[in-house]
Every structure is written in structure tokens, then in C-alpha cells.
Amino acid sequence: MLKSVVNGPPPVVLAPMSGVSDLPFRRLAHRLGATLVVSEMVAGEELVKSRADVLRRAEGRDLTPFVIQLAGREEKWMAEGARIAEAKGADIIDINMGCPAREVTGKLSGSALMRNLDHAQALIRSVVSAVSIPVTLKMRLGWDDQTRNAAELARRAEAEGVQLITVHGRTRCQFFKGTADWSGVRPVVEATSLPVLVNGDILSIADAQNAIAASGARGVMVGRGAYGAPWMPGRIATFLSTGRDPGDPSLDVQRDTAIEHVDAMLIHYGRELGLKNARKHVGWYLASSGAAEATVKTWRAILCTSLEPQRVLTGLEEFYSSAEPLAA
Ligand SMILES: Cc1cc2nc3c(=O)[nH]c(=O)nc-3n(C[C@H](O)[C@H](O)[C@H](O)COP(=O)(O)O)c2cc1C
């Protein structure tokens, strides 16, 4: 299944984003044309222990292909987590070696693994040998500017049987500061024969083109560029495969998408948690509508504090009908 993805037009993948790329968001991005959508990271150990919130993160069997991202630092938990992910219907497992968060790197997971490539390689081996589905790897350029070792990690990953690599063009010590260095991904492309995706700060079709040109990557991964715009990966994918930009959807379609998203979150998490988790998305939809800043601010204050799901849904209707004349 991964083969058809990488052998087709340039892939445009929705990034794994904890607290954002949950099942409702992935379903939307997938339906709107993203080539692949990746789950929020799931700790191998927590998956084995069947923590309820972790099990929810690992849902998505109806997505084809279904990608679960695993994080962890111990071979046995990663291997066991991978087996469970496969049993849950995953078509692809992605290993997280890119997360900079201290609670993750403090436990020597995520991008901390780039400080010890022998350990990283052992983890990759444990996952690849535990499952029969393809395994992919996501990483940063390195821990810091003095140790940009992504190319070396990619070589080792290829030797262990990893089938695709994504590189966020920042070091771990940069966190999210500065700008992504797309040309810094080129040594990874040159070091391996694997397909490579370039990631970081890709917000538009032009960014995707520039990132591919600078890195030589096969395709792109889009994270924050899909905030309030789950159609963005699909829009970029359409352009890269046809040369035609479908543009942003009409405000009517944006409204329907936002409402469908909030509805799906209420079902997925239940009313209270669903409403709470939907707030940031509502704020992002308002902002990406092109409406005047003052209008967005007024509506955000209403919709992102309401305790009443129905008010949020009808408010979205009202916002988009009032926003229409102001849209850019
Ligand atoms: C809110 C948030 C959560 C994230 N969670 C994950 C994660 O679970 N796993 C992962 O590999 N990367 C995670 N990332 C990193 C993104 O996948 C991506 O590499 C990064 O945001 C850069 O891409 P962008 O500039 O397109 O957003 C997260 C990023 C954000 C903003």
C-alpha cells in the first residue's frame, strides 16, 4: 500500500500532531485529498497497557492507508506496540524520532533518539522485525547544529528495512524557532535510495514547490498549514499532480467542513471533551476564512467560550454568512 503512495504523484501527507490530528481531523483531511494522514503519536508502552485515551488515538481502521505513529525508547514496548498497531488494522507504522517536547525527549524518546544512533537503530530493528507491514520514520535534522546526523540515521534506517523517511528541517534544539531549512534535507535525500518527504513551514503550494526544489524530496508533509484548512494537503496534492490549483473551497464548503468537524468531535470525544477539544479548531477555521480580523475576534470570543455545542454549530452558520462579504 505504501508502494502505490510513493510511486504515484508527489505525496502530500498530513503530519502527526498530538492534540490535532485525531480521527475526526484525519478523516476530513483524507477525504479532502491528503495522500496519507498520520495518527497522533502513540507511546508503545501505553498502547500495550490499553490506556483509554491512547486507544482512541490509535483508531482509524476506516482510513486507507491507516498510519499509526509510535513513540518510545524501549525495544520491547516498541515491538509490542507495533504488533498491536498491526492487529488494529494499521497499514503502515511510523516511528517518531522527531518530537522535541521535553516530556518526550526527557524519557529519551522522540528526537532524543538522534543523540544515540545505535539505540535508534535497535529500536527501528525491533519495530520492523515485529510486523509484516511497512515501517516509516520521522526525524529532525539532528539534535543541534553541531550534530546534523539525519543522513546517517536515514542510511541506518534503510539498512533495517524502513521504507520512507520524513525530515522536519529543524534541529531538536530549535524546537519550532526560526524557519525550516529545506535544503538541509538534501543530504538525507542523497544518502539513501528511500523516498523522502520534506517537512516544516509548508503553508502553501509555493512553499511545497520550493521545499521540494531545495531538498530534492519526493513529496511533502504538512502540519500547521492544515490548521483550519484540512483541505490544504489535498489542495497541494492536486497542484503537484495536475499543475492546477483548485484554490480554497468556497465559504459555504468551509462552513460545512467546520460544522462537520465539530459534529464529529462531539461524537468522537463525547459532548464535553469534544466541545473543549474543538475550540482550537473553531478558532483556526474562523482565522483561515479570510474574514476581517475584528470579525474573527468577536466570533472567537463567542464560539470558543460557549458551553453549548448547539450554539457553536449555529454560530458557525451565522459567522460564515456574515463573513462572506468580508472574505479576502
Ligand atoms: C501541536 C503539534 C503536535 C505535534 N505532535 C507530533 C507528534 O505527535 N508526532 C510527531 O512526529 N510530530 C509531531 N509534531 C511535529 C509535526 O509533525 C511537524 O513535524 C512540525 O509541526 C513541522 O511541520 P509544520 O511546520 O508543517 O507544522 C507536532 C507539531 C505540532 C504543532
Range of lowest pLDDT (108-122, 212-226, 242-256): 108-122
Q: How many angstroms separate the alpha carbon of residue 186 from the centre of ligand 1?
A: 20
Cis peptide bond N-terminal to 11, omega within 30: no
pLDDT greater than 50 at residue 327: no
Q: How many CB atoms sit inside 10 A of residue 204's CB?
A: 15
Question: In sequence order, what are the residues at sequence separation of 6 or more whose Cβ sits closer than 8 angstroms to the Cβ of residue 231?
Answer: 29, 32, 33, 248, 249, 257
How far away, in angstroms, is 16 Cα from ligand 1 center? 6
User: Whose C-alpha lies nearest to ligand 1, atom 1?
Assistant: 17
- Distance, in Å, from the CA atom of 164 to the CA atom of 107, rounded to the nearest integer, reads 25
pLDDT greater than 70 at residue 15:
yes
The pLDDT, as a whole number, for residue 143 is 93
Is it the case that residue 237 has pLDDT exceeding 50? yes
The secondary structure element, H or E, covering residue 324 is none
Each residue's pLDDT tens digit, 16-31: 999 999 999 999 999 9
Pocket of ligand 1 (CB under 6 A): 15-20, 40-41, 69, 96, 98-99, 138, 168, 199-202, 222-225
For atom 18 of ligand 1, which residue has the closest CA? Answer: 223
316 CA from centroid of ligand 1 (Å): 27
Residue 304 annotated among the catalytic residues of the structure: no
Assigned architecture for domain 2-242? Alpha-Beta Barrel (3.20)
Q: Give the side-chain half-sphere CA count within 13 A for 37.
A: 31
The cell 538525507 sits on which residue? Answer: 188
Instruction: Read off the pLDDT of residues 49-106 as tens digits, 9 standing for 90 and up.
Output: 999 999 999 999 999 999 999 999 999 999 999 999 999 999 999 999 988 887 776 6
The closest of 110, 194, 112 to 159, measured between CA atoms, is: 194
Asked if residue 272 has pLDDT above 50, the reply is yes
Cβ 216 vs Cβ 191: under 8 Å = no
| Percent of the chain whose predicted confidence (pLDDT) is above 70 | 98
Does 273 have pLDDT greater than 70?
yes
Write the residue with the smallest CA distance to atom 22 of ligand 1: 200
- Looking at the predicted structure, is the pLDDT value of residue 328 above 70? no
Q: What percentage of residues in the chain have a pLDDT greater than 90?
A: 91
Dig out the grid coordinates for 181 from the structure. Answer: 531549512
Average pLDDT over every residue of 143-161: 97
